[in-house]
Amino acid sequence: MATTADSSGPSAGGVVNSWERDSFIGVDIGGTKVAAGVVNDKGEIRRRSKSPMSTHETAAEGVRSVVATIDLVLENDPELKRSLRGIGICSPGPLDPRTGVIINPPNLPCWRNFPLAQEIGRIYGVPVKVDNDANAAALAEGIWGAGRGYQNVFFAIIGTGVGTGLLFDRAIYYGRTGAAAEGGHMSLDYKGPRCGCGKLGCAEALLAGPAIARRAQAKLASDQKSAMLELAGGNIDQVTSEMVGQAYSAGDAVAREVLMETVELLAVWLGNIVDLLEPDVMILGGGASAMLQPLFGEVRDRLPRWCVNTRCQEIPIVGANYGNDAGIAGGAALVAQLVQQS
Ligand SMILES: [Zn+2]
């Protein structure tokens, strides 16, 4: 994979690099690549870069991947370097968000108890924060996105897995050791399918994209009259959650059945969330959420059956503002909040 950078600054008046008072760099570390972006104090992403992530070499090699990606977005812009107030990094966990130490992520074997925040801070001389992607993305939505103006936010990314983040009084809630807000691993069915975490019937095992695809595949095994099968080239095993969404949009009855079950499960989960937390807003991001967004009204209609809160339907259920850029915006939000507090 090539290392790439693109500049998408504003073109109005020909001013490309007119940075606001403060700018932040958000870094999104994945299992194969690392992305970085410059974010201004309004939460707008102005530049992006992407490089391969060296995950299986030494700790220093891993750091070099991150530094190369950051250097790429800073390249040839002294003004930007002067306005840089901090760097925030989303990394796979487990990690300690308070110390910025990466503990032992299975897909980042290069780092074991590695002080990533300290290392990157030493190189760039600015504050550095590290957190998992769901916490960070929740904060970006709270400061700049769909949660703006709300005090208490429930945020979920529903994609290939389910990650959640909680904002109480506009700050990330961490729990005793930083391990709180694993809402994707709340069990909704103790006899349900086994989740990747080992538990049975987790929200992730029932609501994530692969779970939606599995339900569709099971239905197709007995009812073959569906556009999903055509989309998958006649091979049931190839049916994906995206195909369920496409077939639903085209009026397919089997796809509708699959999505209505998903909507019901989402109502069960969010009903529990409302009864426990009564947040001011519930924000759903990620690919599967985007597919389900036309059905959020349906989720709200079903909520009272799964919730004792008589005012549960007053709580907005909305899509996230940041899509694929959630990691970059989230990383930036972690340090933007530090600056705003100081
Ligand atoms: Zn689980």
* Beta carbons within 8 Å of 261's beta carbon, 6+ residues apart: 215
In the chain, which ranges are continuous DSSP H helix? 59-74, 78-83, 116-124, 133-143, 203-207, 209-222, 227-231, 241-249, 253-277, 287-292, 296-302, 326-341
Q: Per-residue confidence at 190, pLDDT binned at 50, 70, 90?
A: very high
Share of the chain above pLDDT 90, in %: 87
- Residue 235 Cα to ligand 1 midpoint, Å, equals 28
pLDDT greater than 90 at residue 223: no
Ligand 1 centroid–CA 204 distance in Å is 6
- C-alpha 154 – ligand 1 centre gap (Å): 18
Q: Which whole number is the average pLDDT over 85-102?
A: 95
Residue 13 has a pLDDT of 32
Instruction: State the distance from the centre of ligand 1 to the C-alpha of 136, rounded, in angstroms.
Output: 20
pLDDT tens digits along 98-132 = 999 999 999 999 999 999 999 999 999 999 999 99
Q: Band of the pLDDT at 174, cuts 50, 70, 90?
A: very high
Rounded distance from Cα 282 to ligand 1 centre (Å): 21
In 10 A of CB 224, how many CB atoms? 12
On the question of pLDDT at 26 being above 70, the answer is yes
Mean pLDDT of the chain, nearest integer: 93
Q: C-alpha distances in angstroms, 213 versus 48, 218, 238, 269, 338?
A: 32, 9, 9, 19, 40
Any idea where the domains of the chain sit in the sequence? 4-132+325-341, 146-319
Give, as residue ranges, everything with CB less than 5 Å from ion ligand 1.
185, 195, 197, 199, 202
Whether 146-319 and 4-132+325-341 are alike in CATH topology: the answer is: yes
Q: Positive or negative CA dihedral for 39, 84, 47, 17?
A: positive
Measured in Å, residue 342 CA sits from the centre of ligand 1 at 37
Ligand 1 centroid – CA 259 distance (Å): 21
Ligand 1 midpoint to CA 58 (Å): 30
CATH code, 146-319: 3.30.420.40
Determine the CATH number of domain 4-132+325-341: 3.30.420.40
pLDDT at 30 over 80: yes
pLDDT score at 19: 52
- What's the sign of the alpha-carbon dihedral 143, 148, 154, 158? negative
pLDDT tens-digit series, residues 36-63: 999 999 999 999 999 999 999 999 999 9
For 163, the 3-state DSSP assignment is strand
Q: What is the DSSP string of 96-148?
A: ETTTTEE---TT-TT-SSEEHHHHHHHHH-S-EEEE-HHHHHHHHHHHTSTTT
